A and B are shown apart, each in its own frame.
Chain A
Amino acid sequence: MNRVMKIGAHLFLCLFIIIMLLPIYLAVVAASHEGSLLMHTRLPYTPGSLFFYEYESGLRAGVSGNRGRAAI
């Protein structure tokens, strides 16, 4: 019984953490897809291929609207 309760507690905690981290996961997924995709279709559940590209351009040139220009 004690063991069952222990596993149950772990399961509950893991489930709660998944729910709590869902919005942060969404931010990661949204950051890895083309910006125009987010406005027109439902966001895919898995990360896309642009993850590193988006972060690199974000760090180099600021927000996406500023790509190609130096960050001020």
Chain B
Amino acid sequence: MSKFNHQRQYVWLFILPQIIITLIFFIWPAANALLQSFFYTDAFGIKQRLAYFSNFTDLFADSGYIEAIKVTLILAFSITVVTMTLGLLLAALVKARHKSQKIYKSLLIWPYAVAPAVAAILWRFLCHPTLGWITSILQNWGIEFDYVNHTNQALLVIILSASWQQFSYNFLFYLAAMQSIPATIEDAAVLDGANSWQCFWHIIFPLLSPTTFFLIIMNFMYGFFETFGIIQVMTHGGPGASTTNLIYKVYQDGFEGMDLGSASAQSVLLMFLVIAISLVQFKYIEKKVHYS
């Protein structure tokens, strides 16, 4: 019994640093944001007045916030569809190669090594309204391209640069998942008379469903929270508010508008969203995926 207690002390000793880090860097800021969201605070952060739930109710009366929700959903959905479709297609093609598989794999994961802000700078150069290569090519084809002034083009450029970065992640996961499927399953289907298309849709794709579900969650999280760097470098949320998503609006309201109460309320809503997504991920990722 005393040995057991002695071991328990060691367990606490080992997990204590992680608990301290979590408390200082996660729980404390989150609790502060939660507290701040119930107050009106002046621009200098000196005077505070209790606002109860006004910061939250004001958000849903603000057309800018509703627009930001729309932009966030468009971004997240587009990035998810583009990256997952391309990731699956390319993973299937690369998996079928034998000698050249390593070369293709190495080249296709390069974009993942580029930091979001650097990726945004590169895409800004490529799509620059007067100096960019893509602009030049499109102008030669008679297409007017100026993402700085056109709202739809700005959104498209953000989707392209974010998808460019996130594609490699999807590709790697799909490739790893495909490689882990035993060849005997595919061989059995071929013996039963299935062609390669049927084999893919009826055997391989259902077996990839846990990976697909995981990637849907991760891509949505990326679209929601990790596009800040790209938006900040490329468009600053503009033109107008056409590329202002929820996370960028927190920054705009909190650091540019100095409305700390509203920014905290937005952060709290985003925090609950992350908690909800994480719960869905943990609860359903293993249980609700069926192999037909």
Establish whether residues B111 and A20, one from each chain, have CB atoms under 8 Å apart when the complex forms. Answer: yes
A-side contacts of B86, CB under 8 Å: 16
Q: Which residues of A contact B117 (CB under 8 A)?
A: none
Residues of A whose CB lies within 8 Å of any CB of B are 9-10, 12-13, 16-17, 20-24, 26-27, 30, 38, 41-43, 45
- The answer on a CB contact under 8 Å between B93 and A23 is no
The residues of A that contact B136 with a CB separation of less than 8 Å are 42
Main secondary structure of the interface of A (DSSP, over half): helix
Inter-chain CA distance A30–B164, complex, in Å, is 19
Those 9 A-B pairs whose CB atoms lie nearest each other, nearest first: A23-B122, A17-B107, A42-B131, A9-B93, A13-B104, A27-B122, A13-B93, A26-B122, A26-B125
Interface of chain B: mostly helix, strand, loop or mixed = helix
Q: List 6 A-B contacts (CB under 8 A).
A: A13-B90, A20-B164, A20-B167, A24-B111, A41-B131, A42-B133
A45 with B133, Cβ < 8 A, contacts A9-B96, A9-B97, A20-B111 known: yes
Q: Is B59's CB within 8 Å of the partner chain A?
A: no
Which of A20, A21, A38 counts the most chain B CB atoms within 10 A?
A20
Asked if B126 and A17 make an inter-chain contact with CB atoms under 8 angstroms apart, the answer reads no
Residue of chain B at shortest CB distance from A42? B131
Give the residues from 74 to 125 in chain B that come closer than 8 angstroms, CB to CB, to chain A.
Answer: 86, 90, 93-94, 96-97, 100, 104, 107-108, 110-111, 114, 118-119, 122-123, 125
B residues in contact with A21, CB < 8 Å: 107, 110
Q: Contact between A26 and B90 (Cβ–Cβ < 8 Å)?
A: no
Q: Which chain A residue lies CB-closest to B121? A: A27
Interface residues of B in 112-158 (CB under 8 A from A): 114, 118-119, 122-123, 125-126, 130-133, 136
CB of A1, distance to nearest CB on chain B (Å): 12
What is the CB-to-nearest-CB distance from B111 to chain A, in angstroms, rounded to a whole number?
Answer: 6
Q: Closest residue of chain B to A22, judged by CB?
A: B126
A24 touches B133 (CB 8 A): no
